[in-house]
Amino acid sequence: MSLFGRRDARERDEIIASSDAASRALSVAAVENDFVEKVYENLASVYDLIFGPTLHPGRLAAIQRMNLQPGDRILEVGVGTGINATLYPRHCSVVGIDLSSSMLEKARERVARKDLENVRLLEMDAADLKFADNSFKIVYAPYLISVVPDPVHVAREMRRVCRHGGRIIFLNHFLSPNPILSRIERLISPLTVHIGFKADLDLQAFLAQAELAPVSIEKVNFPRIWSLVTCIKA
């Protein structure tokens, strides 16, 4: 069975075939690490309430697509409050990183409360992963890539630490292919960064510049403006 529907397959093929994506600007909004840290410090106490149930179907779909086997090693880039931690099978080893100490504090509380001995949490910059090459079977960025200062650099770091044949997975909102919606998203993107994401990250440009080819793209959540993008490290 295909991992994606006809429309999603068409979007994937268009991304692979795009010729100008490697030179396009990713977004009209620019952020720095200090700004990102401040945003998530402010969101830490309410993140689960605001972004918990509404974005949860995408999290479940991502775990399903990982096809996790006993002994698999997963890196979650942007672990936040640890909201995904209980979704991983306990027979897998999970390392979660985040730049925000406030978010990590919430994650550590959750991991301790649920007695998740297979989950380790570290404070770390996604653009400077302190892991050796080819360290993880799955490298997963849930609702993160559109808020980091340099999405392409982060994606390349994710690819570096992923094993050959492993999966690199992005769960995120990306710029709409609809010209009217995309214009609106570009207009509001400088505002949406204050609640944790750029509204206009260009998926084609992002993947082309990160030198990643998607094997599947699925629309998730409701409304279906969020994408689950899976790449395989060749």
φ, ψ dihedrals at 24, nearest 5°: -80, 150
Predicted TM-score (pTM) of this structure? 0.90
CB 230 within 8 A of CB 59: no
CB 225 within 8 A of CB 173: yes
Edge-to-edge strand list for the sheet holding 93-98: 119-123, 93-98, 73-77, 136-142, 162-173, 226-232, 214-220
Burial 22-60 (b: 16+ CB within 10 A, else e): eeeebbebebeeeebbebbeebbeebbeebeeebeebbe
Whether 17 shows a pLDDT value over 80: the answer reads no
φ, ψ dihedrals at 223, nearest 5°: -70, 160
CATH of 6-232, one of 3.40.720.10, 3.40.50.1860, 3.40.50.150, 3.30.2320.50: 3.40.50.150
CB 42 within 8 A of CB 34: no
Boundaries of every domain in the chain? 6-232
Within the chain, where are the H helices?
6-17, 33-43, 47-66, 101-114, 151-161, 179-192, 203-210
Q: What is the pLDDT of residues 43-80, one digit of tens each?
A: 999 999 999 999 999 999 999 999 999 999 999 999 99
Q: What is the pLDDT of residues 138-193, one digit of tens each?
A: 999 999 999 999 999 999 999 999 999 999 999 999 999 999 999 999 999 999 99
Q: How far is the C-alpha of 232 from the C-alpha of 67, rounded, in Å?
A: 13
CB 28 within 8 A of CB 205: no
Q: How confident is the model at residue 32 (pLDDT cuts 50, 70, 90)?
A: very high
